[in-house]
């Protein structure tokens, strides 16, 4: 599902370069549930953005779902983000002026003409997805009236709406209390287990990471073997499938 080869990324701020990723190679198989761990600033989120085709300013090769994403046109990249990958953010990133239902159907706005279906079909599909995350009763609510856990579940519903192949979670439980964290994570686990969704979770919480089937640790922009009970299957500069 994911094949990264020798990914380098440098941020330049005030003419000073910050080499964030230093030759990352990584392979993730379809249906895997992988935790990406590392300290703040280690490059986890940067790597997630590259995998999610949000960031194109890097060197190396990134093949996601069988597609070489670097060099794609803006239109093709947008379609890739719309159909193949989905994001869940720590801050939920819901649009406050839209209802829960509208937030969930938002990806359909950018689908190709004739691909999305009519309003009625979209609403039915969104309701079904919301049902899956346990928020069917909140379709008309505004995000401002939801709890943190509910907001994140709406974000998950939005992510699932276009039935992506890859779910990228950037510290999805970072803004939630422990009870809610557990519930949200259980939902993500269930999606992986029941729907075969490939999940990549960026987290710095050890107990969350340990619930994943595999942990990839990033230290100073490079993938290093995980010292914990689970085994890292990738090393800096040499990925495997």
Binding interface with other proteins (CB under 8 A): 45-46, 49, 52, 54-55, 74-75, 77-79, 81-83, 86-87, 89, 93-95, 97-98, 106-107, 109-111, 113, 158, 162, 170
The distance of closest approach from Cβ of residue 116 to other proteins in the complex, given in angstroms and rounded to an integer, is 8
The distance of closest approach from Cβ of residue 203 to other proteins in the complex, given in angstroms and rounded to an integer, is 15
Residue with tokens 């359909």: 108
The distance of closest approach from Cβ of residue 27 to other proteins in the complex, given in angstroms and rounded to an integer, is 22
Whether the CB-CB separation of 233 and 29 falls below 8 Å is answered with no
Dist. CA 152–CA 240, nearest whole Å: 33
Dist. CA 222–CA 26, nearest whole Å: 10
The distance of closest approach from Cβ of residue 105 to other proteins in the complex, given in angstroms and rounded to an integer, is 10
Closer to other proteins at the Cβ: 9 or 214? Answer: 9
Closer to other proteins at the Cβ: 45 or 192? Answer: 45
Closer to other proteins at the Cβ: 158 or 217? Answer: 158
Closer to other proteins at the Cβ: 23 or 52? Answer: 52
The distance of closest approach from Cβ of residue 169 to other proteins in the complex, given in angstroms and rounded to an integer, is 13
For 94, the 3-state DSSP assignment is: coil
Give the sign of the dihedral formed by CA 54, CA 59, CA 60, CA 61.
Answer: positive
The distance of closest approach from Cβ of residue 132 to other proteins in the complex, given in angstroms and rounded to an integer, is 18
Closer to other proteins at the Cβ: 139 or 230? Answer: 139
Closer to other proteins at the Cβ: 85 or 232? Answer: 85
Angle (CA) 196 198 204, round 5°: 130
Within the chain, what is the greatest distance between any pair of CA atoms? 52
For 86, the 3-state DSSP assignment is: strand
Q: How deeply is 225 buried, as exposed, middle or buried, from its count of CB atoms within 10 A (0-12, 13-18, 19+)?
A: middle
């Amino acid at each position: 599902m994911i094949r990264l080869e020798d990914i380098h990324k440098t941020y330049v701020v005030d003419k000073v370069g910050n080499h964030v990723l230093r030759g990352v190679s990584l392979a993730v198989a379809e249906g895997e549930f992988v935790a990406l761990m590392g300290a703040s600033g280690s490059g986890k989120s940067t790597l997630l953005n590259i995998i999610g085709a949000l960031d194109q300013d890097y060197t190396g090769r990134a093949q996601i779902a069988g597609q070489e994403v670097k060099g794609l046109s803006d239109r093709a990249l947008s379609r890739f983000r719309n159909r193949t990958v989905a994001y869940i953010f720590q801050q939920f990133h819901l649009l406050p002026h839209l209802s829960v239902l509208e937030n969930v159907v938002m990806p359909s706005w950018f689908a190709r003409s004739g691909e999305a279906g009519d309003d009625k079909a979209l609403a039915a599909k969104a309701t079904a997805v919301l049902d899956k995350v346990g928020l069917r009763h909140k379709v008309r609510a505004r995000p401002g009236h939801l709890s943190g856990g509910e907001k994140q579940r709406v974000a998950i519903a939005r992510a699932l709406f276009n039935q992506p192949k890859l779910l990228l979670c950037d510290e999805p439980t970072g803004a939630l209390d422990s009870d809610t964290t557990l519930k949200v994570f259980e939902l993500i686990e269930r999606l992986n287990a029941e729907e075969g969704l490939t999940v990549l979770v960026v987290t710095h919480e050890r107990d969350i990471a340990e619930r994943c089937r595999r942990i990839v640790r990033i230290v100073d922009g490079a993938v290093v073997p995980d010292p914990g009970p689970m085994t890292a299957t990738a090393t800096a500069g040499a990925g495997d499938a």
